[in-house]
Amino acid sequence: MECQRNISEFFLMGLSSKQNIQVFCFMFFSFCYLAILCGNLLILISIRCSSLFNQPMYYFLCHLSSVDICYTSCVTPKLIGDLLVRRKNISYENCMLQVFAMHFFGMIEVLILTAMAFDRYVAICRPLHYMVIMSRTRCHILIWASWVGGAAHSFPQVFMLICLPFCDTTEIDHYYCDIFPLLKVACTDTYITGVLAVANSGTVALVIFVVLFGSYVVILFTLRNHSAEGRRKALSTCGSHITVVVLFFGPSIFAYLRPPTTFPEDKIFALFYTIIAPMFNPLIYTLRNTEMKNAIKKVWCQKTLSVEKHN
């Protein structure tokens, strides 16, 4: 397939053209992005500076927080900046880079969530073999596999788009570059490309969601044989994971597992998996986790005391 490059930039229509709504969105998403950065950095530093980093679950959580920062930074700073200007343009190169980065870090996050579900399955269903199965070497392999999987998912997405010719009217009805809005402004038949995009994104998201859902069903079934205290602790941890999975996968499946077209609701659903879910992840994993709260208190209280002694 011969690649055709006939434009230099796209124009994003954004969330709304009304000035008062744009001002509100600017303030709201600025707060959201600051919360994402602070919350995930808090988790990163607290885990790395405590003994929790040696536990597989928190090792994965540390990587999840890093990917969350990268993932939301692909879109949110551009969105916030565009709310202050009338001309919301993005170069062709940056648009393709945004598509690649969103799918790259998004798939890595999906696979890390899968690794975390596997970790909880082993911890609850195979507790005697937990340290052998979830060795640090195997954890490294799972993280590297997540990055390889992210690359294997995102490169085909971009290759399908860079070979498309685009029309003179390059207004994208979205606040960032994504596959279906770009297919809508392409000047060629994109049916096959759309089907491939659905297979690569929507089907993969659905299959992984079903696998995750099935693993948690098995976990909940196994918990019947545990003590009341063991059930409470396991349910607390698994409840955090399930909440994150639902927040991320629900809107993602709606966005990609359907005929390749666009709907007005796409922007709202996209906000959930690009900004809202990454913002709530730190709260979900800290407020519902006693070990995480204790680690945060220990690390940051020690830092505060050391600073006071130094002064």
Please report whether residue 308 resides in a domain.
no
In-domain check, residue 296: yes
Cβ-contact 110, 200 below 8 angstroms: no
Q: Please check whether residue 307 lies inside any domain of the structure.
A: no
Which pLDDT tens digit goes with each residue over 94-137? 999 999 999 999 999 989 988 988 888 888 888 888 888 999 99
Name the domain count of the chain.
1
Residue 118 placed within a domain: yes
Structure tokens that stand for 162 in this block? 């860079």
Is 64 domain-assigned? yes
Q: Which domain holds residue 263?
A: 9-301
Is the predicted pLDDT of residue 177 greater than 80, yes or no? Answer: yes
Residue 310 lies in a domain: no
Is 60 exceeded by the pLDDT of residue 309? no
CATH number at residue 84: 1.20.1070.10
Q: Is residue 283 part of a domain?
A: yes
Mark residue 164 as left, alpha or beta (left: phi above 0; alpha: psi -120 to 50; beta: remaining): beta
- For helices 136-162 and 56-73, give the axis angle rounded to 10 degrees: 20
Q: What DSSP letter does each residue of 66-132 carry, written as one string?
A: HHHHHHHHTTHHHHHHHTT-S--EEEHHHHHHHHHHHHHHHHHHHHHHHHHHHHHHHHHHSGGGHHH
Instruction: Return d(Cα 12, Cα 89) in angstroms, integer.
Output: 6
CA 157 to chain centre: 17
The pTM for the full model equals: 0.87
- Residue 306 confidence class, pLDDT cut points 50, 70, 90: low
The mean pLDDT of 70-93, rounded to a whole number, is: 89
Instruction: Check: CB of residue 200 under 8 Å from CB of residue 159.
Output: no
In a domain, 306, yes or no: no
C-alpha to C-alpha distances, 119 to 15, 110, 115, nearest whole angstrom: 39, 14, 6
What pLDDT, on the 0 to 100 scale, is given for residue 97? 93
pLDDT tens-digit profile of 1-45?
455 566 778 888 888 778 888 889 899 999 999 999 998 998 888
